[in-house]
Amino acid sequence: MSYLKFTCLAILPLFFFGACKQSPASNPKEENTKPLKVETVVADTIAEIKEEETFLLTEENAIDFFFDYQKNLKTTKVKLTTSLGSFTVQLYDNVPYHKANFIYLTKKGYFDNTMFHRVVKDFIIQGGNADNVETARKRKEIGRYLLPPDTRKGYKHHRGTISMPSSEIDNPHMLASPYEFFIVVTNPGSYHLDGDFTPFGKVISGMDVVDKINRQPVDTGDWPMQNINILKAEIVE
């Protein structure tokens, strides 16, 4: 009897050892493949999401995009803080593409860390460009496009008007460069610009700062001798 008991006790551990050894859960090869498979799926999913989120404005889609974008826009004011002070512009509602473009770029943070790169005494200050890598990167990420002029709304280039310059490329239709803008300083205005450029707003506070920017020393190419930075552009609700 004791012999049988001893034999059973000896066989029992072997049975459990064999069962454990054959268990799929303890197979190191299979365990190592599972997380790799999950990581691959996650990586593929992230890549797909990023691809869906990537959107570039182009000549082909810009007008349709801004037409839809402006439909629910209630914002009409943008504040620009510069290295010489801040001022606020009121955007016109019935110049929809240019208004939508300016708000879109503001929300994208495009104007932050750009400059007033052109100052013409007693005429205009022009901003939205900069000779730095960051500005070039932002333009690349937003897209390459132009906007059609919208000059039939009756707005004139009075003092304080914010307007959009035409592109420097071969441009017989005076399509606007969407990344830049200029503000009229001339008193009472620069009306020879009417019909060629699109006024899309006006300065409603801080015109003294605009005048201060216009008084800064410039070189022969109208580039300020000291950088005049746009530190931040922000929506004013």
Return the domain boundaries, the chain: 2-53, 62-236
Residue 173 pLDDT grade (very low, low, confident, very high; cuts 50, 70, 90): low
pLDDT at 3 over 70: no
Rounded distance, CA 45 to CA 163, Å?
A: 43
* Alpha carbons 72 and 108: distance in angstroms, whole number: 17
d(CA 129, CA 113): 9
Using pLDDT thresholds of 50, 70 and 90, give the confidence band for residue 186.
very high
- Tell me which residue has tokens 């620069």: 190
| Residue 80 · residue 207 · CB < 8 Å | no
**Cβ atoms < 10 Å from Cβ of 96:** 18
Query: Which range in 36-40, 114-118, 193-197 is most confidently predicted, on average pLDDT?
Result: 114-118
Please state the length of the chain: 237
Write the CA distances from 235 to 6, 81, 96, 108, 212, integer angstroms.
86, 11, 17, 11, 23
Q: Interior CA angle at 161 toward 158 and 165, to 5°?
A: 110
Residues 6+ apart with CB under 8 A from 216: 84, 119, 224, 225, 226, 228
Q: What is the pLDDT of residues 132-153, one digit of tens each?
A: 999 999 999 999 999 988 888 9
The answer to whether residue 7 scores a pLDDT higher than 90 is no
Ranges 46-60, 82-96, 178-192, 215-229: which has the least confidence? 46-60
Average pLDDT over residues 100-116: 98
Is residue 95 predicted with pLDDT exceeding 70?
yes
At the topology level, CATH places domain 62-236 in: Cyclophilin (2.40.100)
pLDDT level of residue 176 (50, 70, 90 thresholds): confident
- For the chain, list the strands marked E by DSSP: 77-82, 85-91, 114-120, 124-129, 161-164, 181-184, 198-205, 229-236
> Which pTM was predicted?
0.77
- On the question of pLDDT at 212 being above 60, the answer is yes
d(CA 82, CA 213): 9
pLDDT band at 168 (very low <50, low <70, confident <90, very high): low
